[in-house]
């Protein structure tokens, strides 16, 4: 018996080096199973690296115009003002007038508000496009149309005055078809498709980190280019970069088949009509699961996770603006100092998410082993042993079939045995990163020197990762056939929170600044973060061995 085993091992060791067309041996099926798995893993890593580079490049491109567009509005408002007024020859800066500054601020606020609203619609359009055309085609669309928007903005800035402002503001409607929210969803979906189940949370964190770092570099580049070559230069540069990014996506990223819906989903699609378009919101609905003992129990894990993430982004989404406003008001920071402060904050946050966050997730899962996980998944009436969650939904075609950039079909990973295994540490990290964020933000209330603002900017990024861990958790709570809706839904919650945080904490900062207590805004941020942490404590994965109740 031992000699036969040795003979089989010998055949397996030699066979890969031989290609003589001989008939298959006993070991051939094993070889045929192992080799595609190894080559597919390598392809998955290669695609992930290309996706991370894409995230960096596109985020950099979006970031370049963020600083110059504010100054462009100031210049166009100034031009409009002096169409009806004579400039004072003694003024060193003829645009430094309260009327001009107020009008520019109102115009820019309208631009920001329309961008946010159209961006929310863009998120829904992008999710619909992924389901119909596939991730790669949807990503190209999300990058191409911002190039069209930039072309129109170039025309508006060259026109100048009130007409130019209206052209730039009107161009934002193109964001519905393609914009930053949609491209983020597309890249998240691509990474979730090509990365193994166990590595998804870490990969989503790395992706978010590359976006942060790209945006930080874009802020820096936009300011430097605008100051050196004029206000139009960053916009022309961005137009060219968007087109190059489209070419990069078309050439380097694989085409992944659009997810197909089973007969049950197709039937519901016909009855639900337009409500189907807003599918991402459905993921937060309470879900019924059948427990191992046969009882049916309603689970609120996705709902409480969504509420916790909303509160977390509400607390942390205003930090970058708050740091600048507080530093300007209290320590007289100028554009150069604020630029360095935000670059430091964003780049460190990106580096943490790209390099450290995946390692923390991997080590944390080892630390929070199966014995420790029992408490997380324990039923109220007794303990149950750890086992993978059982799902009755089929895997999406994106998990089965991947197409290479030349449109040649390649074999992809078969669904892993533990595809639906849950990792308690992902949810654990989401909770306690929000707790740490609240503590660090609260400590900023004691800042009394300008240089201490840089310490705050260095420390806060080490509490990052709540959003990435939440995305990894929500994917595990829902069936693989709803992965696009899961990512779209959690991203939608994040964007609504970012829209809300500007209004809530902007008003809070203004009110506290009037009474000379602007530093208390940090405490308000910390309180909301701690409230989010409390809500996340109630979020749970479904009990072990349970089955989803499918209607």
With vertex at residue 189, the alpha carbon angle to CA 183 and CA 190, rounded to the nearest 5 degrees, is 90
| Res 415: pLDDT | 38
Judgement on whether residues 253 and 289 belong to the same structural domain of the protein: no
| Res 284: pLDDT | 79
| Res 84: pLDDT | 81
Specify if 366 maps to a domain. Answer: yes
Residue range(s) defining the domain that contains residue 99: 42-86+95-259
Distance between CA 430 and CA 427 in Å, rounded? 5
Judgement on whether residues 205 and 342 belong to the same structural domain of the protein: no
Judgement on whether residues 409 and 316 belong to the same structural domain of the protein: yes
Tally of domains in the chain: 2
Which domain-ending residue is among 226, 259, 292?
Answer: 259
Average pLDDT, 10 consecutive residues per value, the chain (551 residues): 44 42 45 50 77 92 83 85 78 75 76 81 87 89 94 92 90 91 88 81 85 85 83 91 93 76 48 51 76 76 87 85 79 72 85 88 77 41 38 33 35 40 80 92 89 91 86 78 75 79 78 83 92 90 68 56
Specify if 242 maps to a domain. Answer: yes
Judgement on whether residues 166 and 114 belong to the same structural domain of the protein: yes
Classify residue 195 by its DSSP letter.
Answer: S
Distance between CA 430 and CA 435 in Å, rounded? 9
Distance between CA 551 and CA 544 in Å, rounded? 21
Which domain-ending residue is among 194, 228, 259?
Answer: 259
Which domain-ending residue is among 230, 259, 288?
Answer: 259
Judgement on whether residues 144 and 173 belong to the same structural domain of the protein: yes
Judgement on whether residues 189 and 309 belong to the same structural domain of the protein: no
Specify if 15 maps to a domain. Answer: no
| Res 296: pLDDT | 79
Using alpha carbons, select from 194, 158, 149, 154 the residue that is nearest to residue 44: 194
Specify if 194 maps to a domain. Answer: yes
Judgement on whether residues 124 and 205 belong to the same structural domain of the protein: yes
Judgement on whether residues 459 and 543 belong to the same structural domain of the protein: yes
Using alpha carbons, select from 446, 436, 434, 462 the residue that is nearest to residue 522: 446
Q: Return all residues near 213 (Cβ < 8 A) that are at least 6 apart.
A: 56, 59, 346, 347, 350, 351, 354
Sign of CA dihedral 387, 389, 395, 398: negative
Specify if 456 maps to a domain. Answer: yes
Specify if 390 maps to a domain. Answer: no
Judgement on whether residues 432 and 478 belong to the same structural domain of the protein: yes
| Res 236: pLDDT | 92
Judgement on whether residues 284 and 241 belong to the same structural domain of the protein: no
| Res 188: pLDDT | 86
**319, 466 contact by CB (below 8 A):** no
Distance between CA 125 and CA 182 in Å, rounded? 8
Specify if 317 maps to a domain. Answer: yes
Q: Return all residues near 76 (Cβ < 8 A) that are at least 6 apart.
A: 157, 160, 161, 162, 164, 165, 168
Judgement on whether residues 313 and 403 belong to the same structural domain of the protein: yes
CA of residue 334 relative to chain centroid, distance: 30
| Res 411: pLDDT | 36
CATH number at residue 127: 1.20.1250.20
Which tokens sit at 534? 């409390």
Query: Helix and strand tally (H, E) in the chain?
Result: 20, 6
Other CB atoms within a 10 A radius of the CB of residue 423 amount to 23
With vertex at residue 113, the alpha carbon angle to CA 442 and CA 276, rounded to the nearest 5 degrees, is 100
Which tokens sit at 136? 């790669």
Q: Return all residues near 255 (Cβ < 8 A) that are at least 6 apart.
A: 134, 136, 137, 403, 404, 405, 407
Alpha helices in 65-97 (DSSP H): 68-81
- Tell if the pTM clears 0.75, that is, is over it: no
Which tokens sit at 298? 């309603």
Specify if 330 maps to a domain. Answer: yes
Judgement on whether residues 208 and 285 belong to the same structural domain of the protein: no
| Res 275: pLDDT | 53
């Amino acid at each position: 018996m031992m000699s036969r085993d040795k003979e089989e091992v010998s055949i397996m060791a030699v066979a890969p080096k031989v290609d003589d067309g001989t008939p298959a041996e006993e070991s051939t099926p094993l070889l045929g199973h192992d080799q595609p798995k190894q080559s597919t893993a390598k392809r998955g890593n290669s695609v992930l690296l290309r996706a991370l580079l894409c995230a960096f490049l596109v985020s950099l491109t979006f970031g370049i115009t963020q600083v110059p567009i504010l100054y462009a509005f100031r210049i166009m408002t100034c031009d409009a003002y002096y169409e009806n007024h004579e400039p004072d020859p003694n003024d060193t800066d003829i645009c430094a007038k309260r009327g001009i500054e107020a009008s520019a601020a109102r115009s820019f606020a309208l631009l920001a508000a329309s961008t946010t609203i159209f961006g929310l619609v863009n998120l829904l359009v992008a999710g619909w496009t992924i389901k119909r055309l596939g991730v790669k085609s949807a990503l190209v669309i999300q990058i191409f149309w911002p190039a069209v928007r930039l072309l129109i903005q170039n025309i508006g800035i060259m026109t100048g005055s009130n007409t130019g402002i209206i052209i730039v503001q009107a161009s934002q409607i193109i964001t519905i078809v393609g914009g930053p929210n949609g491209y983020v969803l597309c890249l998240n979906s691509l990474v979730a498709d090509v990365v193994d189940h166990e590595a998804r949370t870490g990969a989503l964190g790395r992706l978010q980190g590359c976006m942060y770092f790209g945006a930080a570099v874009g802020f820096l580049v936009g300011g430097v280019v605008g100051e050196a070559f004029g206000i139009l230069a960053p916009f022309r540069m961005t137009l060219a970069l968007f087109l190059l990014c489209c070419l990069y996506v078309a050439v380097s990223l694989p085409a992944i088949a659009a997810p197909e819906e089973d007969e049950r989903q197709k039937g519901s699609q016909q009855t639900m009509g337009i409500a189907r378009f807003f599918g991402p919101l459905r993921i937060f609905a309470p879900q019924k699961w059948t427990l191992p003992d046969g009882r049916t129990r309603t689970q609120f894990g996705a709902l409480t996770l969504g509420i916790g993430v909303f509160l977390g982004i509400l607390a942390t989404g205003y930090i970058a603006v708050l740091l600048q406003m507080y530093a300007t008001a209290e320590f007289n920071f100028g554009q150069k100092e604020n630029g360095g402060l935000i670059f430091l904050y964003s780049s460190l946050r990106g580096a943490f998410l790209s390099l450290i966050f995946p390692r923390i997730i991997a080590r944390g899962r080892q630390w929070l082993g199966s014995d420790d996980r029992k408490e997380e998944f324990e039923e109220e009436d007794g303990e149950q042993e750890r086992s993978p969650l059982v799902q009755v939904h089929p895997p999406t075609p994106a998990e089965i079939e991947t197409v290479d950039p030349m449109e040649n079909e390649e074999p992809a990973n078969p669904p892993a045995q533990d595809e639906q295994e849950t990792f308690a540490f992902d949810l654990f990290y989401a909770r306690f990163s929000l707790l740490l964020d609240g503590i660090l933000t609260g400590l900023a209330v004691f800042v009394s020197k300008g240089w201490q603002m840089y310490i705050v900017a260095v420390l806060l990024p080490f509490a990052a990762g709540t959003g990435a861990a939440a995305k990894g958790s929500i994917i595990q709570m829902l069936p693989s056939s709803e992965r696009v809706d899961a990512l779209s839904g959690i991203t939608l919650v994040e964007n609504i929170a970012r829209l809300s945080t500007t209004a809530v904490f902007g008003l809070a900062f203004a009110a506290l600044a009037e009474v000379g207590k602007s530093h208390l805004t940090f405490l308000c941020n910390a309180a909301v973060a701690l409230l989010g942490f409390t809500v996340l404590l109630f979020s749970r994965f479904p009990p072990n061995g349970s089955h989803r109740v499918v209607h």
